[in-house]
Amino acid sequence: MAETIHLDPAASPATVEEVVDYVHRNVAPRDFDALVSAAPLLQRLALDTALVHARVEKALVDMIDGRRTCFYTPQSFVIASVGSILLRGNLWCPTGPRRGVRSPRDAIFSYYMAHDHNYHFLTVGQFGPGYLTEIYETDPLAHDGRPGTTIDITLLEETALPTGKVMAYRAHRDIHVQLPPDSLSVSLNLMVRDMRSDTQEQYAFDIGECRSRAVITGYPDASPVSVQASLVELAGHLPDAGIQGLLHDLCGADHIAPRVRRHAVESLRASAWTDEDGLLRLARRIPDSRQWEARLLD
C-alpha cells in the first residue's frame, strides 16, 4: 500500500550508514510499523543523486578489472547488506516502442507479472517518473497456496513511483503488477529479512479482467524456496547414500518449507528408497504451505 511521506524541504541527504544504523537499532524483521518509521530516512537517502551513479560506475570498473560486480540481476544491485538489512537499487527501463506493447525484455524487469513478497519492504523513487504499478490486497490465510487456486483480491490503487515518493509493501498481503516507465527510472529498496524469509513461499498470479479474483500460477524461480526445491530435486538423482540420508532427514524437518519437503519425498522415491512405509509416514506429516505458514504470517 502506498505511503506518502512529506519531506522537509530543508532536509539533507542521508547516508547509507545512517539508514543501516537506524534500522539496526529500531526495526525488527517482522515489524511493519517499525519499518515504515524508516521511510523518511530512506527518502532522504534518495536525495543523494550520486549514490546510484557511483554504484554503476564501480560496477563498470569492476568489469574492466575482472572483479565481481554489485549487480546480481541485470537491473538490481546491492547498496548495502548488513545482517538482516538489505539496501538495493533498481534500474527501470522502458522496454517497448510504445506503452502497452510488450517486449521480450519485460521478463528481465518483471513487468506485467503479478506477484507478492514474503517480507515487508519499503521502496522510494530516486530518479525519473517511476514505473507504474497496480496494487491489490488479499487475505494470505484464505487459501492454501497451491498453484491453480483462485483467490479474492481487492484493487487498492493504480499509481507510479516518481522521484521522492515512498511506498510500503506488506508481506503476502500486497500483490503488485509493475508496468514500464516512460523513461529510465531508479528506485531504492529497504528490506529487513530473517531466516523465515527463506522458508516462506512467494507467489505469482494471473489477475482476471474483473480484477477482483486471481489465480495462483506458481512460484518465482528465483525465490529461496524455489531454489531449495530445485536443489533437492537434483540431489535425488545422485546415487549417494549420504545424500539420500540427508534427504530423509529433510523430509521430517518441521522448519523446512512444505514444498521443499515434498520434493525430498519424491526424490527419495525416485532413488528407490527402501523404507517406503517410513517415507509414506513422513509424507503424511507434511502440511499445506499456508497451514504451515499461518504461525509465521502477521
Q: How far apart are CA 133 and CA 142, in angstroms?
A: 24
pLDDT at 37: 94
Cβ atoms of 128 and 186 within 8 Å: the answer is yes
Closest by CA to 79, choosing from 57, 52, 61, 60, is 52
- What CATH class is the domain 16-218? mainly beta
Residue listed under C-alpha cell 521430517: 252
Query: What's the grid cell of residue 44?
Result: 532522504
pLDDT per residue over 129-149, tens digit each?
Answer: 999 999 999 998 888 888 999
Q: What is the largest CA-CA distance in the chain?
A: 71
The DSSP code for 117 is -
pLDDT at 192: 92
Q: How far apart are CA 77 and CA 92, in angstroms?
A: 12
For the beta sheet containing 150-152, the strands, ordered from the edge strand earlier in sequence to the opposite edge, are 150-152, 213-218, 204-207, 114-115, 174-179, 132-137, 154-160
Between residues 187 and 290, the one the model is more confident about: 187
Q: How far apart are CA 119 and CA 172, in angstroms?
A: 7
Other beta carbons less than 10 A from residue 67's beta carbon: 10
The ranges assigned to domains in the chain are: 16-218, 224-293
Query: How many angstroms separate the Cα of 35 from the Cα of each of 57, 59, 190, 217?
Result: 30, 29, 9, 30
pLDDT at 275 over 80: yes
pLDDT per residue over 107-117, tens digit each?
Answer: 778 899 999 99
Cβ atoms of 193 and 35 within 8 Å: the answer is no
Alpha helices in the chain (DSSP H): 16-26, 32-36, 39-45, 50-65, 106-109, 224-235, 241-251, 258-270, 276-284, 289-293
Q: What does R_g of the chain's alpha carbons equal in angstroms?
A: 21
pLDDT per residue over 49-60, tens digit each?
Answer: 899 989 889 889
Cβ atoms of 41 and 18 within 8 Å: the answer is yes
Q: How far apart are CA 25 and CA 31, in angstroms?
A: 13
Closest by CA to 180, choosing from 220, 114, 133, 121, is 133
Between residues 248 and 290, the one the model is more confident about: 248
Q: What mean pLDDT is predicted for residues 91-100? A: 72
H, E, C per residue of 6-41: CCCCCCCCCCHHHHHHHHHHHCCCCCHHHHHCCHHH
pLDDT at 286 over 90: no
